[in-house]
Amino acid sequence: MRLFKWPNNVEDRLLHSTEFRNCLDFLCYNFRFNYLLCRRPSSTMNNRDYKNFTQGEIYHTYNRGVGKMDIFRDTQDYLYFLLLIKHDLFPAEFKVKRSKLNPYVKKQLPADSFDLIGYCLMPNHFHLLIRQNQNIKIGVLIKKITTSYAIYFNKKYERVGTLFQGRFKAVHVGDNRQLKVVFDYIHNNPVRSELVQHPAGYFYSSYNEYYNKKQQELCKIRKYDFLK
């Protein structure tokens, strides 16, 4: 089985491209699974109540393209979205000073504001499993990532208008048992959608960070290694 190997630096990563099979159009999220199998009434936040994020808690966040459209059309799109995540998770690696040549510098979040536990980018939607470490709401992180990505996407494909379908959704993960269920669910998305036969064969999820150590680390795999 051929595993994806990340290029060594950001520039190469953005320019790196491989053949990727045609995207299948399918429902971004199995709500029946999420609510019937994962939810616990005492620990689940209302999907539309974005003020209820709590420091020290874990949330499964997700969203899809407006009208179920593909939001990732080629390798560069996937890698740019991951680069945006990395920019806010590891700000020390992106210290850019304001200058006459670069007057606009994107404001960064404080280091260690969040733990990324798992992720999967599908052709028309994304899943992020995140722990909020400080009193900075997860909504701030998601808004920064999706807004920057929408600007990039619209410019690249010469389109205007909304890219994502409304505000992102979030489900509180109440305990380790529920965390393990969601963790496995996220990584098995490509298999259920028949994009690959095994999670290890899908390039744009955190599966190989945990199980094969074959790509860069965006997740705190040492901290959450018990999920394997």
- pLDDT tens sequence for the chain (228 residues): 444 444 455 444 443 433 323 332 332 333 333 333 334 433 444 444 455 799 999 999 999 999 999 999 999 999 999 989 988 888 777 665 555 544 445 677 888 899 999 999 999 999 999 999 999 999 999 999 999 999 999 999 999 999 999 889 999 999 999 999 999 999 999 999 999 999 999 999 999 988 887 666 788 877 887 777
In a domain, 30, yes or no: yes
Query: Is residue 3 situated within a structural domain?
Result: no
Residue 118's SS3 state is strand
The helix (H) or strand (E) run that includes residue 125 is strand 125-132
The residue behind tokens 């996407």 is: 153
Residue 162, domain CATH: 3.30.70.1290
Is residue 2 assigned to a domain?
no
Q: Which domain holds residue 32?
A: 10-95+105-227
Q: The whole model's pTM is what?
A: 0.74
Residues 6 or more apart whose CB falls under 8 angstroms from that of 183 comprise 117, 118, 129, 227
